[in-house]
Amino acid sequence: MPASKPRLNMFNSVSLDGYFTDSSNDMSWAHAGGDSDEFQEFVAGNASGASALIFGRVTYEMMAGFWPTAAAAQQMPEVAAGMNKAKKYIFSRNLKKADWANTVVLNGDPVAEIAKLKRGDGPGMTILGSGSIVKQLAAAGVIDDYQLMVCPVILGSGRTLFDGIPGRPTLKLSNSRTFKNGKVFLHYSA
């Protein structure tokens, strides 16, 4: 039986009104209420997966500025370990190299680069943050799974992940989970 090809997953936190950043591009609201044991166990479980991580440059710089630090290892040791050991791909027109361990910079078209990775034998991939990359890949129909953590906050304005996506892609709910902190995890398959 041939090995299955890598799937592309997207994971983002969104507000109740559908924004992944507020109007100032701040995402700190997504971390409120994340200190419960139940929620931390879920986050640590996700971080221990074997997925390669996909970032745009802005998200990469934010992640690389925290996860390799001693503070990250102290605050969230399982997540920090997972983030640091994972294979990482960064889409950037400007970066030529990356300092975070296990990181490859991709300067080409995200749709073509992801299609090439999906034809390979590598691990599944997860896009974290990276709204402009998500939008391009969703429009091209190459995202296999959409995972959203709906946070119980209304921002009123900000950036959406799917503004301008052509057509009306229909997704199927694969699973969901409600947390005591009010957050709701939704996993849809394309």
**What CATH number is associated with residue 18?**
3.40.430.10
**Residue 3: inside a domain, yes or no?**
no
Total of domains in the chain: 1
**Residue 46: inside a domain, yes or no?**
yes
Could you give the CA distance from residue 98 to residue 89 in angstroms, rounded to a whole number? 10
Q: Which residues pair with 63 in a beta bridge?
A: none
Q: From first to last of its 190 residues, what are the pLDDT tens digits of the chain? A: 455 788 999 999 999 999 999 999 888 898 887 677 888 788 777 766 678 999 999 899 999 999 999 999 998 888 889 899 999 999 999 888 899 999 999 999 999 999 999 998 878 999 998 888 999 999 999 999 999 999 999 999 999 988 888 888 899 999 999 999 999 999 999 9
Note down the domain range covering 26.
8-189
Could you give the CA distance from residue 145 to residue 96 in angstroms, rounded to a whole number? 29
**Residue 77: inside a domain, yes or no?**
yes
Tokens of 189: 């398959």
pLDDT at position 163: 84
**Residue 28: inside a domain, yes or no?**
yes
**Residue 1: inside a domain, yes or no?**
no
Could you give the CA distance from residue 119 to residue 130 in angstroms, rounded to a whole number? 22
